[in-house]
Amino acid sequence: MTPDASPSSSTTTPSPSSTAIAPVDDAEIATTVPLSTSTASTHGESHHVLLLLDIQVAMLAPPPVGVPASKLVQTNLQRILAHARSAKPPPLIVHVRNNGDAGEPDEPATDGWQLIFPPLPGEIVIDKRKNNAFAGTVLGDVVPPTAEVVVAGFQTDYSIRATCSAALTRGNEVLLIRGAHATYDRIEVLHGGGITPAHRIEAEIEAELEEAGVHLLDMKDLPGIFTDR
């Protein structure tokens, strides 16, 4: 994934992915919404939305290709998705897939670009090129501004931060679950090449987003998360 604007004091350099999965034909299993499409969703308004950001093979490959917490986070993401799919009624489930540049681990149509969790019929797939999943996509047409949005995926300090902030600006209630998002260790270029571990970055962004108005939950809060409160 290429950040919109990488901080001048740090850099993240995941290696190309070597993990392969069978290609997913979105046309057969889900509603794929092109990046440039401007039509509104035909799914109707939903009060609850599960927004899955960049949950792709490259991000969840074993480290150092994937994020350091890839194994734990994948387990938690799988639990959240299973819970959402079994909810009555289920939330609107949106898979957002990042389209990286040529040569990057998530370059379109490569193994690393594929979604980890194949979408089911009725679920939506949206491709993006920026950290903010609402920017340059139809996500704003799909997600009502009155919806409560549960956000999970990658990377904490890029897409998670930018998309949660954008959703708050739209008026959405935003929920972020600890242990269901992650990022890479960060090399501090302007501080002698020291490394800030991923778990510290994740905690810093959680605190920042909570102060901005995001509701932080834990995995133990999963029961009832997609029901009206």
pLDDT value of position 228: 78
**Residue 56 domain-assigned (yes or no):** yes
Strands (E), 55-192: 92-98, 124-128, 148-154, 173-182, 186-188
Q: Which two tokens stand for residue 58?
A: 């490259």
Confidence band, pLDDT 50/70/90 cuts, at residue 23: very low
Identify which has the larger pLDDT, 42 or 225: 225
Confidence band, pLDDT 50/70/90 cuts, at residue 31: low
CA neighbor of 184 nearest in space, from 216, 154, 219: 154
pLDDT value of position 46: 72
Confidence band, pLDDT 50/70/90 cuts, at residue 114: very high
Within 13 Å, how many C-alpha atoms sit on residue 113's CB side?
Answer: 22
**Residue 43 domain-assigned (yes or no):** yes
CATH of residue 29's domain is 3.40.50.850
Confidence band, pLDDT 50/70/90 cuts, at residue 9: very low
Q: What is the chain's length?
A: 229
**Residue 6 domain-assigned (yes or no):** no
pLDDT value of position 177: 97
Three-state DSSP class for residue 225: coil
Q: Residue 119 is part of which domain span?
A: 25-221
Domain count for the chain: 1
Query: For residues 108 and 101, what is the distance between their CA atoms, to the nearest angstrom?
Result: 8
Strand order in the sheet with 194-196: 10-11, 186-188, 194-196
Q: Which two tokens stand for residue 186?
A: 């960060």
Buried b vs exposed e over 48-84: b needs ≥16 C-beta within 10 Å?
bbbbbbbbbbbbbbeeebbbbbbeebbebbeebbebb
Q: Whole-model pTM?
A: 0.83
pLDDT tens digit string along 117-128? 999 999 999 999
pLDDT value of position 165: 98
**Residue 5 domain-assigned (yes or no):** no
Amino acid occupying residue 105:
P
pLDDT tens digit string along 58-86? 999 999 999 999 999 999 999 999 999 99
Q: What Rg do the C-alpha atoms of the chain give, in angstroms?
A: 17
Is pLDDT above 90 for 40? Answer: no
Three-state DSSP class for residue 190: coil
DSSP string computed for 183-213: ---EEETTTTTEEE-HHHHHHHHHHHHHHHT
pLDDT tens digit string along 83-111? 999 999 999 999 999 999 999 999 999 99
